[in-house]
Amino acid sequence: MTELRTITTDRLHLRPISPADFPHWREFYSTDHSHFVGGPRSAEDAWWKVCQFVGHWSMRGFGYWSVETKEGTYCGRVGLEQPHEWPEPELGWSFLPSATGKGYATEAAQAVLDDAKATLKPKAVVSFVHKDNIASIKVAERMGATADAKSGYDCPYPEHLIYRHPMGCAA
């Protein structure tokens, strides 16, 4: 079984998903804030989604972390995901409205990418970002990722762009 690690950044703590996180996602997926990440979803679907993120670790050996501030305030999720049919691991992030606009997503996603380069050493990492999701496009660009129109495959989400992350040495 995959050992679930934690990652600490300047302001954030990335830790395994716990049952107590679900109410945050039930609330998040109930509103249009979830529009860019497949929502809104019913409470039932949101629950299964969280289950899926947890089980992904058993299937792939990597997955999503929950993100909280060092004071313990829940912020969102970040991690690498690669369901069965996806050709490349995807670095994804999704933060509650209360935790956006602070640079948390960039800080957390960069930490996951650096960690992946040091541990999993994937050949490539992409991010699928909704074409209208300006905030997430900025996160991807801040990390140095660029839109890739020649990936050779269709993005699993028809409205999303494929951003490809630079795979040089970890900072």
**Piece in contact with another protein (CB under 8 A), picked from 39-47, 69-77, 99-107, 130-138:** 39-47
User: Does residue number 52 form part of the binding site for another protein (CB under 8 A)?
Assistant: yes
Shortest distance (Å) from residue 17 CB to another protein: 7
Q: Which is nearer to another protein, 59 or 120 (CB)?
A: 59
Sequence-ordered strand ranges (E) for 56-159: 64-69, 74-81, 90-95, 126-130, 146-147
DSSP string, 21-78: GHHHHHHHHTSGGGGGGT----HHHHHHHHHHHHHHHHHHS--EEEEEETT--EEEEE
Q: Which two tokens stand for residue 104?
A: 């948390």
Shortest distance (Å) from residue 142 CB to another protein: 30
User: Does residue number 22 form part of the binding site for another protein (CB under 8 A)?
Assistant: yes
Q: Which two tokens stand for residue 31?
A: 């509103």
Pattern 57-76, another protein, x by CB under 8 A: xxxx----------------
User: Does residue number 14 form part of the binding site for another protein (CB under 8 A)?
Assistant: no
Residues 39 and 60: beta-carbon distance below 8 Å = no
Nearest-angstrom CA–CA distance, 152 and 155? 9
User: Does residue number 102 form part of the binding site for another protein (CB under 8 A)?
Assistant: no
Residues in the site for another protein, rule: CB under 8 A? 1, 4, 16-19, 22, 42-44, 46-60, 83-85
